[in-house]
Amino acid sequence: MLSGKHIIVGITGGIAAYKTATLVRLLIKAGAEVQVIMTPNAREFITPVTLSTLSGKPVISEFFTANTGQWNSHVDLGLWADAMVVAPATASTIAKMATGVADNMLVTTYLSAKAPVFVAPAMDLDMMRHHSTVHNLELLRSYGNHIIEPATGELASHLMGKGRMEEPENILKVLQAFFDKKQDLESRHIVITAGPTVERLDPVRFISNFSSGKMGFALAEECASRGAKVTLVSGPVSLKVNNPSISRIDVESASQMHDAVMDVCGDADVAIMCAAVADYRPKSVASRKIKREHDDIPVIELEKNPDIAKAVGQLKRRGQLLVGFALETDNEQSNALEKIKKKNLDMIVLNSLRDKNAGFQVDTNKVTIMRRDGSSKAYACKPKREVAADIVDEIVELLKKD
Ligand code: PMT
């Protein structure tokens, strides 16, 4: 997995720097080519000689090699790398990376790197939970960097808490898992709907449902991590996306969701309709809050919303896949099969509100995936990200058949 990979190991000035020697040794043993970059402070904690001996390459610390005047090109290094790992990453380096303060070779190379970057923080627990560190790590995540969370245990200060750099063996596992990850959706465009829709009655009231967006967002993350370009059309939810391969379009009502999906699904390879779309909306929306009248109970007249999945199914071209969801409370299988036909779906993911820990809001789901030909697979209850992986595996199978 790591054989032949070019890995930059960035070391900053923290006591955990001694553990990075082991990381370098493990990477070399796994067949990677390693270039160590140290900040000036890191040299106070571990000597460059140890690291150049383990990596088999001179360590880079400065923009110029002092005795020869040779320029160390951060741009070339950034292009050379298949991955960059900053371990340990101090609060100061994390802040510099988050804000682009390029005053040393490590941060300059980070800013030039085209490869994925992994950051393994290590610091005292108060520094770790300080608002600025929390905010800077959030920023790094939002730029698409991978944060390898520090472990909890005894710290250099002898305090107990979160802040210990993750063990080198585990950092190696994270890198191996990253390179091992299937990229079976590379160059595919996937449109996903997620969350509820909100249908206004007046400025303060609406018709909606309990969808949190968790299932749809898990699908978006899974597709993106497998190489797809994802367009995520979401109703109002409180979730965030941090993946640069996911473009998010926020909508409120079913009509807005319909228009957004129609705009983007022309060139899509796959459309996954995970949103819980309101089938009906109030026929008229009051411009002022509907007042409570004495004895009169207001009658709300409803009209049909567009069926987004059906509209995509009608326009579906050869080679395009359409995946629907069915949320049922009874007659699950037959209702789901009927939806496949009615909406011209290739596959439907059935979840039932009769199952515990499935459906709305919860972090898990229990699904049965049914194909157009009537074949089906039932899965155990698992975290929504794992359910997403099962669904994507099925989609990849169908794409291969096409
Ligand atoms: O968001 P979470 O809290 O994680 O919950 C996940 C979920 C329960 C919302 C999800 O797993 C799910 O089941 N989504 C579909 C819910 C639903 O509306 O099912 P349905 O059986 O009513 O609709 C069938 C299919 O048609 C769905 O793909 C739906 O997106 C689509 N549809 C429905 C109505 C409509 N007007 N337009 C549509 O596109």
Give the span between the Cα atoms of 34 and 373, in whole angstroms. 51
Pocket test for ligand 1, best of 253, 265, 327, 333 (most atoms within 8 A of CB): 327
**Would you place residue 402 in the very low, low, confident or very high pLDDT band (cuts 50, 70, 90)?**
confident
| C-beta of residue 39 within 8 angstroms of C-beta of residue 11 | yes
pLDDT in tens, 95-113: 999 999 999 999 999 999 9
Q: How far is the CA of 399 from the centre of ligand 1 (A)?
A: 22
- For residue 292, pLDDT beyond 90: no
pLDDT in tens, 135-163: 999 999 888 889 999 988 888 778 888 88
Atom 13 in ligand 1: which residue has the minimum CA distance? 327
**Residue 363 is which amino acid?**
D
pLDDT in tens, 186-202: 999 999 999 999 999 99
Lowest mean pLDDT among 50-59, 118-127, 177-186: 177-186
Give the span between the Cα atoms of 202 and 205, in whole angstroms. 5
Label residue 114 exposed, middle or buried (CB < 10 Å: 0-12, 13-18, 19+). Answer: exposed
Q: Which of 401, 400, 354 is nearest to 381 (CA)?
A: 354
Residue 219 CB neighbour total at 10 angstroms: 29
Model confidence, pTM: 0.69
Pocket of ligand 1 (CB under 6 A): 193, 195, 211-216, 254, 273-277, 279, 305, 307-309, 324-327, 339, 351, 359-361
| C-beta of residue 194 within 8 angstroms of C-beta of residue 235 | yes
Domains of the chain: 6-180 (3.40.50.1950), 189-401 (3.40.50.10300)
pLDDT in tens, 55-80: 999 999 988 776 777 777 788 888 89
